[in-house]
Structure 1
């Protein structure tokens, strides 16, 4: 069985035909059918927002679709995805570290521990001002 015959869209189309007709399609014909079906078939998306906006005498339609990407990514897309993912993880890690350092500093200040005599970053004073 060819890979195209296992495709859900092709399988759905072929299941609506008699068996003797199903077996007459070549792989090339099935490929063209898949392209033609795929152009119309959106599938289910986590976000599917469609609307029409009227501006002066013209009407414009808009579509916002978001969901999990099920396509196979090209090499360039994989590289861009890896860079973006690395940046997001780095940014998240940076904010977590800053939050933890701030928390440790506030706990240290609340306990009255001074690492350097007569020196303060002013964070404890600012935090106490927020609590008032």
Structure 2
């Protein structure tokens, strides 16, 4: 769908955004054909705003290197491989969360038992209660 009237093409959101980034003196110099060519060449690029957008440059001797860190919600369709990796990452995250939560819960139960003076195995101690008292209660 190509707009033929210059006014219609310049109202296109992509073209408006592109022209807004140019100096006012250069905006009027583009023909419709040039604007359409720019839209076709650059239109596939996502100009979206990212939740995290960190860009910096590092000069190393005679060369300059740039680094970009972008993060945000993924709105594109994932490939089969990407979906598998995402599922595996989520499974590892959930397993890690459950493991850490269980260990923290056991620690709280152990410290509570020790604070109440309950001795389940007479003459045996893990030493956690003594460490906790020395580190946090004195």
Determine if the TM-score, normalized by the shorter chain, exceeds 0.5. yes
Partners of 2:57 and 2:125 in 1: CA distance = 57
SS for the counterpart of 2:123 is coil
Question: Which residues of structure 1 form unaligned runs of 5+?
Answer: 1-10, 16-20, 22-31
1:47 to 52, 57, 64: 52
Question: Which residues of structure 2 form unaligned runs of 5+?
Answer: 1-11, 17-31, 33-38
1:24-63 matches, cutoff 5 A? 33=40, 36-39=42-45, 41-63=46-68
Partners of 2:65 and 2:15 in 1: CA distance = 36
Tell whether 2:13 aligns with 1:12.
Answer: yes
SS for the counterpart of 1:38 is coil
Structure 1 residue ranges, 4+ long, deviating more than 4 angstroms after superposition: none
RMSD: 2.6
1:13–1:46 Cα change, 3 Å = closer
2:77 to 51, 72, 96: 72
1:116–1:37 Cα change, 3 Å = same
TM-score by length of structure 1 reads: 0.71
Number of matched pairs: 108
